[in-house]
Amino acid sequence: MRTGSRTLESEASESWVLRQRDWTALQRELLGAYYQNLRAQTQRRKVLLRLIGREICAEPLMLRCMKLLGIGQINAFALLAIIGDVRRFEWPEKLVAYIGLNPGQKESGRGKHIKLGVGKRGRGDLRNLLLQGAHAVLRMGKNTPMGQWGWKLFARKGQRNIVVVAIARKLLVQVWHLLSGNPPTALECDKSVTDKLKRFATNLGKSLRAELFLQTNIEECCALLQNQILSHVKTNTA
């Protein structure tokens, strides 16, 4: 059964579903438990997003990561939480290998080199998040240099998975440069960053924005966050 544009976890959606069939008592019990669990998980997600938002507001580097293509609130938090001090990775290639986005190799007893794909090595949790970000770059970043590069690679290779991994690898290299204080090149346009910050401010909620001394108005909060990003960039450049 398709609910269309209805919000799945809402009570109105549950009432609509119950009216569509002559459900048995057992089916109604199972549907009720499903919707109860769905609403509980939705509420838990909101709580976790607010806690993540609090951490991002306390760490300027997380906030600055959101200026990169394909890096949103969850990815920005996960990157800093997992990478930690980027200085432990002397080169970006070492960070790429740590996450597991580099092609693997193994040698047979006869000295034969066998190339392996990406996967089952490194930090799979962060790798999966970066792959999702790469999908977003392909889907929504067609007018960006990285998005155009990805579609040209797709035209040559003909396999979307190869392109997604390649974009995720490029994103991670950009993260290394950003955390190392070098100017990244794969930045979102101003409008896209503003849209990200609006979603971020909405997830924080009015009460948490006030607690963090951010403007309660969404537009003013986005402007304040933009200023924090710019001031951090100028400080690092100086």
**How far is CA 61 from each of CA 20, 161, 193, 236, rounded to the nearest angstrom?**
50, 29, 15, 11
- What would the pLDDT profile of 54-81 be if each residue is shown by its tens digit? 999 988 899 989 988 889 999 999 999 9
Please state which of the ranges 24-38, 72-86, 206-220 shows the lowest mean pLDDT.
206-220
pTM of the model: 0.81
Burial of 136 (0-12, 13-18, 19+ CB in 10 A): middle
Instruction: Scan for tokens 């966050």, then name that residue.
Output: 225
List the chain domain ranges: 1-58, 78-179, 189-237
* Band of residue 237 on the pLDDT scale cut at 50, 70, 90: very low
First to last CA, the chain: 58
More confident site: 130 or 216: 130
pLDDT above 70: residue 141: yes
CB 60 within 8 A of CB 228: yes
CA distance 45 to 218: 21
Question: For residue 119, what pLDDT is reported?
Answer: 67
- What would the pLDDT profile of 173-195 be if each residue is shown by its tens digit? 999 999 998 888 888 778 888 88
